[in-house]
């Protein structure tokens, strides 16, 4: 008998639309394969919905703040119902770009150098600090957003203008800009699932390049790397997955430049939309969409 699945999607983060799309695609595939499926949002009625529906497994399809940062995972752990993807601590660490970078550095994983910029504390002499530690251009990004939301590539002329756009975050990362190839790696449990290279027509692989079909980002599988480099990038992704304590599926984002792989970040709840990368990598590895979803559901547990 097939399990009852409750999909939680939507939410209040800036990735709400993508989360709804992930929830819709997963629900459609499960229903097509005769699963009992219900979908809900993580609002005030969440616990009421869980208790009335009594699911066997909760599929966490949330992205961004409150869904991918340990917050919803803390609530789900109180229900003693298996849920998908990473648990409280791993989700919290992976979502915090500064903490995850500190862990990468501790474990000798190459990642772009950075400065944490705190508004009202660091505003003076920030140009000098960037020149001394990073050089221009730099990447400015929120510490705890996903999907490249509010990420800017900045030069000396526009850095202050772009920093002003992000004052509501109170603190952001200013990171050295690494040119080169955009390569992503998917990990499934302890298995190196595969890689994909992205060639965006835009300045970089930003929100539009990820989710707007009109952006026409080129997806390349297989990735043109030597066997040695292919093994190296997948080993780095698996190492990051393990040291952070991730469960289920993750996707790690890399830049490849001058023969070196720079790990930008690790995503604990990759999208499952029509343009999402993990289903595409899985498909190339011989795992279709329903098989991928079923693996994620089977991997779910009460305490992540």
Q: Return the active site residues.
A: 15, 147, 211, 251, 253, 265, 267, 271
- Per the CB < 8 A criterion, the answer to whether 217 and 201 are in contact is yes
| CA-wise closest residue to 240 among 270, 264, 257 | 264
- Per the CB < 8 A criterion, the answer to whether 68 and 96 are in contact is no
Query: Angle 277-284/289-299 helices, nearest 10 degrees?
Result: 110
E strand or H helix at 117: strand 114-118
List beta partners, residue 154: 138
- What span, in angstroms and rounded, lies between the C-alpha atoms of 113 and 104? 11
- What span, in angstroms and rounded, lies between the C-alpha atoms of 246 and 188? 10
Name the DSSP class of 254: E
How many CA atoms are closer than 13 Å to the CA of 87, on its beta-carbon side?
Answer: 16
């Amino acid at each position: 008998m097939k399990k009852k699945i409750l999909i939680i999607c939507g939410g209040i983060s800036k990735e709400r639309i993508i989360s709804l799309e992930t929830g819709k695609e997963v629900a459609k595939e499960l229903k097509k394969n005769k699963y009992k499926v219900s979908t809900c949002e993580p609002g005030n009625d969440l616990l009421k919905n869980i208790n009335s529906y009594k699911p066997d497994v909760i599929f966490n399809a949330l992205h961004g703040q409150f869904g991918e940062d340990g917050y919803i995972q803390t609530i789900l752990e109180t229900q003693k119902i298996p849920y998908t993807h990473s648990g409280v601590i791993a989700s919290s660490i992976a979502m915090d770009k500064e903490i995850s970078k500190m862990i990468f550095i501790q474990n000798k994983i190459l990642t772009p150098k950075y400065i944490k910029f705190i508004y009202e504390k660091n505003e003076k002499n920030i140009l000098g600090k960037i020149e001394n530690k990073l050089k221009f251009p730099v990447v400015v990004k929120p510490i705890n957003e996903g999907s490249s939301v509010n990420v800017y590539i900045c030069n000396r002329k526009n850095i202050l203008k772009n920093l002003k756009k992000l004052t509501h975050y109170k603190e952001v990362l200013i990171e050295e800009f690494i040119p080169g190839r955009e390569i992503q790696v998917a990990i499934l449990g302890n298995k190196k699932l595969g890689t994909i290279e992205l060639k965006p027509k835009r300045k970089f692989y930003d929100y539009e390049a990820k989710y707007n079909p009109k952006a026409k980002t080129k997806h390349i599988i297989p990735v043109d790397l030597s066997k040695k480099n292919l093994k190296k990038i997948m080993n780095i992704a698996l190492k990051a997955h393990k040291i952070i304590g991730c469960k289920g599926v993750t996707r790690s984002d890399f830049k490849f430049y001058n023969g070196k792989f720079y790990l930008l970040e690790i995503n604990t709840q990759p999208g499952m939309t029509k343009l999402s990368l993990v289903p595409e990598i899985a498909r190339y590895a011989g795992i279709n969409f329903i098989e991928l979803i079923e693996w994620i559901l089977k991997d779910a547990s009460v305490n992540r």
